[in-house]
Amino acid sequence: MEKRTLGTGGLEVSAIGLGCMGMSFGYGPAADTGEMISLLRAAVERGVTFFDTAEVYGPYVNEELVGEALAPFRGDVVIATKFGFAFNDHGTQTGLSSRPEHIKQVADASLKRLRVDALDLFYQHRVDPDVPIEDVAGAVKDLIQQGKVKHFGLSEAAPQTIRRAHTTQPVTAVQSEYSLWWRRPEEEVLPTLEELGIGFVPYSPLGRGFLTGTIDANTSFDSTDIRSNFPRFTNRALQANHTLVDLLDSFAKQKRATPAQVALAWLLAQKPWIVPIPGTRKLDRLEENVAAAAVELTPDDLCEIRAAVAQVTVQGDRYPEAAERLTNR
């Protein structure tokens, strides 16, 4: 697979990464550990070198899974993880925390769980309004100087926050949701990143599975699946939004590809410093996603897709109100 570079510090990764959250958390009961270890190693064999996790996924168990699975490939892969949440003694998330001393504690714990000497990319998971972003960036800068972290990232941060952080410690990558059915980063975030030389890592590049064409109005979600609480995944919204999938499917047939591959290829075609991280628990889906890197979209293709998508008004908010308040800050 081709490589792409995030930021100006030379962080080279595969053009398509692998989001690991769903293996342990968020999309129903956790998958079998042994099967997920095999899947992670299969991803490496197929050219994936960029893996995304976080302490909050589980919490903790996803980092442990990634650490065990990728231990044989140290030096050949890049692992991104995140800080920014607080937990009680029972491991329950209790809110945000990006106090500098907490960031340093999280870094030490993540190093152990991931079985690495340094964290390749350390994101602030959500902006903490109670801690100046300069203090957050300064704490990560200290960790970089100590050799515990290599690169600094932000997730779901607003342009002005990105600028302020970047002044204290250069930001290598920003991770935010971005796909054919959530394009708001195009308004201000992407121009800011291009100006500052920062890479962009779209999470949920397949719309949490919706853009694959495998979800419709009759799909039901387990109570442990986060989508069961998301406005965009109510039966009514799914039915209304399926027009977008139909358009994508029609175009994919012209390209002899799948809707998921076109959705990923579209993201790759936006900028050379964009690296999507689709997640999956299945080998066939992994192979499908990896193959998207070889799907070429011409300027005419991109214009056709953009024009078609512009005719669709997506129904439903992407997050419940409380979760949406944590974004773009």
Which residues form the catalytic set? 57
- How many angstroms separate the Cα of 289 from the Cα of each of 63, 205, 213, 305? 22, 11, 14, 19
Select from 74, 66, 13 the least CA-distant residue to 201. 13
Evaluated on CA atoms 186, 190, 194, 195, the torsion sign reads positive
Evaluated on CA atoms 209, 257, 181, 270, the torsion sign reads positive
Evaluated on CA atoms 194, 163, 21, 325, the torsion sign reads negative
Q: In whole angstroms, what is the distance from residue 220 CA to residue 234 CA?
A: 9
**What one-letter code names the amino acid at 272?**
P
- The b/e string for 77-116 (b: 16+ C-beta within 10 A; e otherwise) is bbbbbbbbbbeeeeeeeeebbbbbebbbebbeebbebbeb
Q: How many angstroms separate the first and last alpha carbons of the chain?
A: 34
- Assigned token pair, 121: 């990319």
CB atoms within 10 A of CB 240: 17
Q: What is the dihedral of CA 179, 180, 182, 185, to 10 degrees?
A: 70
Give the Cα-Cα-Cα angle 156, 160, 163 (nearest 5 degrees).
95
Q: In whole angstroms, what is the distance from residue 162 CA to residue 185 CA?
A: 13
